[in-house]
């Protein structure tokens, strides 16, 4: 009888915890809201831990400034049709995979960047996917410019005001991107948005770097901003051979293990910014907006299958800038908007080669040392199946 009462009390306590954060009743501007959400997560048996102090966000409204990915239903969302990556996975497929350890010579894969108070996540997710998969294909460990993608890419050309990683990947194949790393770094066009000013140690997000400091600077100039860089903007452009979408878990696993990191879009809920460790599952019903990240692997932790994902909120956030999110159930939509770029002929063939002309008339998709084209830039025979993402 005593054991039965204990079970009832535990159930009641869990219900009370869940009731602490009713749907659509979070205070977006209250600094204590993230503390309440973290307490809710840590008191429950959700399989992950929350630490808002480590996240560095002052409020949920500050989080929203970083969520710049357009999702279906948004008036700004575009129908982007990309060839579908065709991949099958054998029963002998690895139970875990990490692109960082699979290709250790490609340091760009594990390098965590920061949007610095700008809603340019869509540009970071796609550009980091591009540079990672290109390094795997060519052996060239080069960082490319999220600034160029955000300001000039057809993912929106809106900079901090949003875009789509699928459209950005399409642009990376049709137009290409220049080199460039973090603010003050090397390459043609380093990120123009200044680093956030620390409010407290480890706190590197708004309001320490309000969007107003970045948005006016993030414009498409089509010029290199690094005076020490010797190449011109146009000569520094590098293109992918093609871009593609992925429709299912088997395809994601195949693409990750053969071509490399992918750009993925998903919905961020109010509990996500407080993530610290474990396998994330949604515990809040309060949507904050659309976000894009860089998917790099998969695995199993405490019996829970997960995707390994790199965020662009600096290495202070989450688990060293990374997170694990539940795999196989389209958690928060993370398996529903997946795209990448091809840098090898085998990758192009894997997505049917359909989807059109990615050429510029001369078939040159390299950086001066590699011809990926066939003279007319046509990589499709029209037979490839397309999908809207």
Task: Give the separation between CA 371 and CA 157, rounded to whole angstroms.
Answer: 28
- Considering only the C-alpha atoms of the chain, give the largest distance between any 2 of them, rounded to a whole number of Å: 81
Q: Which of 121, 135, 342, 347 is catalytic?
A: 121
Task: Give the separation between CA 193 and CA 188, rounded to whole angstroms.
Answer: 15
Q: DSSP secondary structure string, 370-389?
A: -----SS-B---S-S-EEE-
291: annotated active-site residue? yes
Q: Which of 62, 203, 291, 343 is catalytic?
A: 291
Neighbours of 361 (CB within 10 A): 10
Neighbours of 334 (CB within 10 A): 23
Count CA within 13 A, CB hemisphere, residue 296.
31
Count CA within 13 A, CB hemisphere, residue 203.
15
Q: Which of 169, 311, 351, 364 is catalytic?
A: 311
Helix axes 121-138, 165-174, angle to 10 degrees: 50
Task: Give the separation between CA 266 and CA 246, rounded to whole angstroms.
Answer: 14
Task: Give the separation between CA 379 and CA 351, rounded to whole angstroms.
Answer: 11
Q: What are phi and psi of 77, to 5 degrees?
A: -65, 140
SS (H, E, C) 2-22: HHHHHHHHHHHHHHHHHHCCC
311: annotated active-site residue? yes
User: Which residues are known catalytic residues?
Assistant: 121, 291, 311
């Amino acid at each position: 009888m005593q054991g039965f009462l204990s079970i009832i009390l535990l159930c009641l306590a869990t219900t009370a915890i869940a009731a602490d954060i009713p749907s659509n009743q979070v205070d977006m501007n209250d600094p204590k809201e993230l503390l309440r959400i973290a307490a809710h997560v840590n008191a429950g048996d959700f399989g992950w831990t929350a630490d808002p102090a480590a996240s560095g966000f002052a409020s949920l409204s500050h989080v929203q400034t970083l969520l710049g990915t357009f999702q279906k239903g948004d008036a700004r969302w575009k129908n982007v049709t990309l060839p579908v990556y065709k991949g099958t996975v054998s029963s002998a497929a690895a139970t875990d995979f990490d692109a960082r350890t699979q290709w250790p010579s490609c340091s760009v894969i594990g390098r965590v960047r920061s949007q610095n108070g700008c809603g340019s996540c869509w540009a970071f997710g796609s550009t980091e996917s591009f540079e990672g998969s290109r390094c795997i294909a060519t052996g060239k460990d080069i960082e490319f410019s999220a600034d160029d993608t955000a300001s000039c890419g057809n993912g929106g050309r809106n900079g901090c005001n949003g875009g789509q990683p699928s459209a950005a990947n399409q642009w990376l194949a049709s137009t290409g991107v220049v080199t460039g790393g973090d603010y003050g770094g090397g390459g043609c066009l380093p990120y123009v948005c200044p680093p956030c000013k620390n409010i407290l140690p480890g706190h590197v997000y708004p309001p320490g770097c309000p969007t107003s400091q970045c948005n006016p600077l993030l414009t498409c100039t089509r010029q290199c901003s690094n005076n020490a860089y010797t190449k011109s903007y146009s000569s520094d452009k590098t293109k992918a051979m093609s871009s593609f979408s992925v429709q299912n878990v088997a395809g994601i696993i195949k693409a990750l293990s053969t071509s490399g990191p992918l750009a993925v879009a998903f919905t961020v809920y109010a509990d996500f910014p407080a993530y610290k460790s474990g396998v994330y599952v949604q515990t809040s019903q309060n949507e904050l907006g659309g976000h894009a990240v860089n998917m790099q692997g998969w695995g199993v932790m405490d019996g829970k299958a997960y995707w390994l994902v790199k965020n662009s909120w600096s290495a202070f956030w989450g688990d060293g800038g990374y997170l694990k999110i539940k795999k196989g159930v389209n958690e928060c939509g993370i398996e529903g908007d997946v795209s990448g770029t091809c840098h090898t002929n085998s990758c192009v063939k894997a997505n049917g080669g359909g989807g059109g002309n990615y050429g510029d008339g001369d078939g040159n998709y390299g950086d001066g040392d590699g011809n990926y084209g066939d003279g007319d830039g046509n990589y499709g025979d029209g037979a490839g199946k397309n999908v809207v993402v």
